[in-house]
Structure 1
Amino acid sequence: IIARREESVQIDKQTKIPALAHPSVLTRSVAMSGEQIDLTPEKDGGVLKKIEVEGTGELKPSKGDTVYVHYVGTLAENGEKFDSSRDRNEPFSFTLGKSQVIKGWDLGVASMKKGEKCVLTCRADYAYGDSGSPPKIPGGATLNFEVELLRWQGEDISPDRDGTITRSVIVEGEKYASPSETSTVKVNAVGSHEGRVFFDKEISFILGEGSEAGLPEGVDRALRRFNRGEKSAIHLKGSRFTYGANPPAEYNLPPNAEIDFTIFLKDFEKVKASWELTGDEKLEAAEAAKARGTMFLQQNKYSLALAKYARIVELLEYEKTLEGDKMEKRNALLIAGYLNSALVYSKQNETVECIKQCDKALEISSKNVKALYRKAHALQQQNDIEEAIGLYHKVLELEPTNKAAVQQIAICKQKLAEIREKEKKRFRGMFEKFAARDEKECSTTDSGSVPEKNFQEASTSAQTEVVS
């Protein structure tokens, strides 16, 4: 039985999401176990499939998924075996739909369910062609493959390629039609945890601000890889891209829960990429990013604020075409981006990042009081007290009436005195310990002196202990 392929996309009446499970889903059940199915788009008989063991469920792997299979390959002409993963006792894996294997396999495995075992008969033009694969596969050979689909996983699209965001394409969208940063996107989103749906909405939001619409960071990141009209399944794990340790109470999720989202990108507003903007347009976009970042900062939404300040840097860091007042405005906005980022990092006690941002601001304006003060405060938090005092003094050289700097210098000096007193007590205690030990060891001597090595031991120990 050969089934007709459905070319149009069916829309689910309830979710408004395209209902096809896969772009090549057949419109009706095509085969019982043992019947042959022609899998070729042209129905030319080039790839025939015969199911030996039915799979489970309704899901099938999608283009871009990594699939894991066992297989045995034989020549159709005489049944001679030429390759077998079972003989190696190791499953074979490949990325589906990326031409990493013969055409017959890309077609065949895409039609399988988990646990399914089938025989794929691949004509030469869907296998190794007229040249074959010597010495085991002659040119023009038709091949039989017994294939068992063990499992599959979505394409890893996480920034660190650590599997925290994976995507399986269900319906492909328009090629080369992807949203860019700050695009307003319109999506259908269905989120689930262990089969329970906790999120089912049609929403619009600015890309990068998905959390404002109730979405986790991983969905926001994934959408940047979508095409208009695409429907994909997204799997998220780990604390970074899920809802983390404190998920919204209304979703009733455990901390750091692994979650799944089915996302349909209905449409998006196209905006220019950074490299397409003129100098004036970059200034305007940076002003808007600064205002939005400040709004998020005032709401204690630190991740969103940081993203907006990073947007300023992205727009202006390498912008060198501006002149005069416009270049001054560019520098002022860039400094604001760095210093506001430093402020956010300071609030989160991320002192190293805070110092980095201050240093970038100081590269533009070496006498910027806010940059000097915030760097000094971060150093103070790290217990780099003497360096912090030095920077506070620089602040006072530039702004003698800065009461905050005067106050912090006093606090630093008090802290420094406390540290030195602790070191003195520690050193004295170690000295007394070593002296007591040697007095015991040297009780038979009439010399009241302590061996010179104990002074060295006490000094070395005092220098290597961490000051708390």
Structure 2
Amino acid sequence: MTEKQVKRPRPKVPAKSAKKTKTLTHSTVLLIVASLILGFIFIYFLPSTKPTSLTPEPTFAAKKAAPTVTPIKSAVKESVKEAKAAVKEAVKEAKEAVKKAAPTGDLGVKEVVEDVKDAVKAAAPKKGEEEGIEYAADGNGWKKQILVAGDGKATPQKGDMISMHYTGTFAKDGKKFDSSLDRGQPLEAPIGVGNLIRGWDEAVLTMTKGEKAKLLVDYTAAYGEQGHPGGIPPKSDLIFELELVDFKKSNRVEVEEVVPIIPIEDQVVAAEGNNWKKVIVKEGDGVSFPSKGDKIVMQYTGRFQSSGKKFDSSLERGTPLEIPIGAGMLIRGWDEGVPTMSVGEKALLYVGHEAAYGEGGFEPVIPPKADLVFEVELLEIKEETKA
């Protein structure tokens, strides 16, 4: 071969593509883990460059306190501290996964990714929760922090009428969605009988008279996956500041346990909406109708459409229900149906489960997918007042 001749590279023959495998070496897995951890730190721990509004201080002043802002430098420092703890835990979890998989060589990328993701998520603080806070009581989907201790040791029992001031905010951004303080009147309602969200029905039973508390309620113990048309988006975690002003025992009046229910198809429907219908039993004044936010004074008995069996009655407590209408504190069938009634009217309100307690029900009182009928009487309307 002369100097002028040039060696031409022999064309490479493509090798048969080997079947890809999901098994990895220890070093490769740990490299992937390290990259994932850094990414998840930025997602879950480092704050936005925008100022962050803090949760309002534990006060029950009617006036809204001026929002405060966390300095970015301080927030980053605290977030990095939390991130380091999460990294340590995540690496530990990943190493354990590698150890378990090593003997068989089964180091799947998907499995490693999911393990790291779950470990970092578990270490991240939940919205609305604060480090170092002691919760005096908790349950399925709710936690209660006492702000001001109440008087004595007596707590409400199921069926008792409570008088409660409250302010409700969204856990994700602290935005207020409802407050009895704005109306200038406490909420009055029976507790523990399914008229209120489950978080309230369970947590308020742990409070004493005069107690002020902060209640963190997961969406599963509030308005669920569907939310509420009164202004609660789906899957909303909520925070309430509560003050139990008073509660009282009531004289029980016997109400028939079971009565035959006339099918709605055999009734004259006076008003209807999405999964609810109203039948008038006695006409009201035809003039005075409640508006959204007004406090209604109502006697009622609730029964199951399928059996006619009673599950709740204000008549048994001897005290009518007093509660704002259309504010998301009641089932949708009530929030939409009661405003069609005038003062003095008696009616039957047929409510399908979609407009009541949904597919999950409200155990142990209301079973899943329970269609209900209410015998209701609108006694009085107390118009909404601003503080």
TM-score by length of 1: 0.26
More relative contact order, 1 or 2 (CA 8 Å, 6+ apart):
2
The answer to which structure has the higher helix fraction is 1
